[in-house]
Every structure is written in structure tokens, then in C-alpha cells.
Structure 1
Amino acid sequence: MAKGLFESLIRGNKDIKVDSAGIGAISGLPPSAHAIEVMAEIGIDISHIRSKPVNSELIRKADFIFCMSYSHLDSLLLLYPEAGEKTFLLLEFANDLPIMAREIPDPIGGSIELYKLCRDQMRQVMPKILSFVLSEASSYSNVAGSATENKDKSRLRVLLGSNFYGTELKNASKEILEKWQIPFEEIVPTDPLDIVGMVERIAVELLEGNFDTSILFSKNGIDVEIAANKFPQLRAVRATALSDILVAKKN
């Protein structure tokens, strides 16, 4: 349904390509009868669409990925952590909804009323998603590579953090930032083992505009990535090497 709605919205725009895939989906299945019916009610035919599973090639080619629920988002980032910067919750753009209410229920096996609810939730937010995509596309050429080309390093504000396991790496990064004369501050954990609590504190600082970016060191970055990506407008990328960061920025 999401693919049909977005394709209908961008009809005539050949610069945008839309695809859909599911985590653990079976290839080649048609939409359910309820899905076809509720979409036909608004003049959109999705009977030709066939299911497919998510794979690394789809992830690599996508400029933006939109998930229906937090469980979809978490599963996708566990499988493809390099996609963190370009993966969003669909209802993340429904700013009038509380954070924990920004999920679209899976209608499979449900009533036709549930399918209509899902359709209407997606239909309402699609124009905002299109505006976001067009805005990002138009500004990409102006911001691409700005991190390496910007000589005014004093404008970059970095917030550092770590749990017990990441202390050594954090201290090493402080020496590098000092050498490059990049201003930074360090957030002190209230509990050296509570990495999720630290993520929440860092998220508040970033969302309030007190810092431009944050580097958080831990033993396992998956928990950090999942916790951070539950905050609208923030994207965390798990990196164990410089190449991970470069791939994330490229995608």
C-alpha cells in the first residue's frame, strides 16, 4: 500500500523511483484482497505489485528507507547498520504524534477496517515525506563533502561519551580533537554501564542544538544505534572502522 500511495503522489516525476520490500518476506506474492480493495477505493491499483525480501543490494541503492514500525526499524539496522543515516520511521514525519505513537500496525490477517486505518495513516504523511525527499535531493549538491571542505573547524561542536568499555578509545579521540583544534565536551555517565541512558542525554543535547554531532564509544554499538534512532531527526551509525563511517556518509 505504501508503494502505491507514494507512486500515485509522484506520478509524472521520473527522477524518483519507489520500491518496497519486507524483512523476511516471501518473493512473488500479490497484495492481500483487503489491501487491493481499500486502495481501489481511492483510485489506486496495486494488484500488479509483488512482494520481495529486503536484501543488501536494495539497501545499497536506496537513498531513503522508510519503515512502518520500530520493530522494522530495529531489525533493519541490526541487519544493515550502514543504512542508519538514511533509514526513517514513516510516521516520524507526523510531528503531531507522540514518539511512541509513530507506528503503523501490520494489517496482515486483520479486518478491512484495520487496512483502511493503515492506508489513511500512510496517505496523510506521504506529502510530508515527499517534501523531505525533494528538499534533501535539492540540497545534496550543496552539502556533499562539506565536512572535508569546511576549513572553519571552530564551528563544529562535538560531544563525546563512553561507557566503561569505551573509555580508552574516548581518551584517544580527545587527543586527536585537541590536535585538530576541534572544540568538544565530554558527557559524564551517571552509571558507567548504562549506555542507553547516556544515549538519551546525548540525544537531548543534539536536538536542542547544543552540539553538531556526538561520538559515543561502547563495547557493542548495536544497542547505541537502536536507542538513538528512536529519536526523530537523529541518525546513529555503528562503526568499527573508518571504512564504516565513509560508507555511511556516501549512502
Structure 2
Amino acid sequence: MDTRRSPTSAPPVQRLWGAHGALDQNDPTDFLIELEIPPAPRKSPRQARSVALIDALMQAARQILDEEGREALTVLHLADVSGVASSSIYEYYPTMDALVAAIFDAFRADVYETLRARIEALAAQATLLDGILLIVRAGLGIYAERIELDPGVCQRMTRYDEMVRLDFVKPTEMAQASIVPVLFARFADVIRVDDVEHVQFLVVQTLITLARAMLLVRPAYLGEPDTAVLIARMIHALLVPQ
């Protein structure tokens, strides 16, 4: 596997040689596929002033996305709304897609931080199904929000994430993997499985795979109330065998 930069007019791509290197990596024409690398910031802020600048940019960009739509999110308009110079915007975000991707990541982090606290704070009378529904609805809600804000960036990032799941691309931390153990701890007296690690893996992969499949193939399903209930019932049956 190797990574290269295309000309500035095209996004960077990654050549995928296959999970087990089945193709000849010494032959520049013998590769499986070229996958567009998801947009990302140039660098992360380190000083308090830089952090404040990034916060202002993200808040202004989110305002534009919510009120005017993706087509309105340009560098010039963002500079006008945020009060940040265009040169400073480019210093951190080479494209507006990179800024949108950063907004997606920040939104997901906020959702899962809140979700973890909500699971731990569930009332004593809450059921395991209540906890599962919280997780499922939060996960589907993240994808529904992303595709509403920017379908193009959302789908490109999701396709790349699927290559991660299939072991073509180096994996990164999956938020779902950190939330499922919280559910298991909260309902330890209800969940009855012999191999916790095995079952947690199945739950995490179910949450990830179904949400991504819906986004790429049937995005309308993300917002249908029955979707979360059906997935939650399936996971509940896995955790509490009859």
C-alpha cells in the first residue's frame, strides 16, 4: 500500500493493494483500487488563540450549513460570517470539505460523550432495551445529521470507513467500541452471555455496518422510527438469549 498526492486540482488518493498484498506493489499499474482519502485539517491548533479561532470557524460554518446549505459554505462567506481572515482559514483547512469533515468529527464526539453520560445515568427502572435504543438512535442520528449537512462528504467518508472495516485501510478508533462496554457495565445483571468480548464485537459491528449500509444504499431508513426499534430488538435478543 502506498499513498500519493494527486495534482492540486484533484483530491489525494490512496492505492489499495488488497488486505494481504496479493497484487504486485512494485508495479505502479498493478493495484486494486484508488480510494479518495477523506478531507482533513492541515494541522491541529495548539495555543489558546488558535483553539478560539477554530471554534469560531466551526460555529460560523455550522451556522451557514444550517441556515443556507452546503453551497453557501465558501471561504469568502465563511470569512465574512466568522470574522476570520481567508488566509487563516486556509492555514487550517485546505478545502471547505476538510472543515465539514472536522465538523462531522466534532459532532460525533459530542454525541458520544453525552451518550455515555446518559447511559450511566439511566434510572434504576430502565430496561436493557432502553439503553440499547439510546445507542442505536444516537448512531443513526449522527449519520442522518451528516447526510443532511453534506451528502457528498458524508458518503465519501463512509466509503473510506468501510475500507477500514474490511481491513484495506489502517483502522482508527471506533466510537461505538467505547460505548458498548458502558452499556454492558450498566446492565451487567441483565446481560447473560458466556463470552463478553465476542458478543461486544458482534454488537459493535452490527451498529457500524447497518448504519453505513443504510447511508450508502437506503439513506431514508436512517430517519424512520421503526429502524432503531428493529435494530435494538435484534441486539437485545443477542444479549438476552431466550
Q: TM-score range, shorter-chain basis?
A: under 0.3
Structure with greater helix share of residues: 2
TM-score, structure 1 length as denominator?
0.22
TM-score, structure 2 length as denominator?
0.23
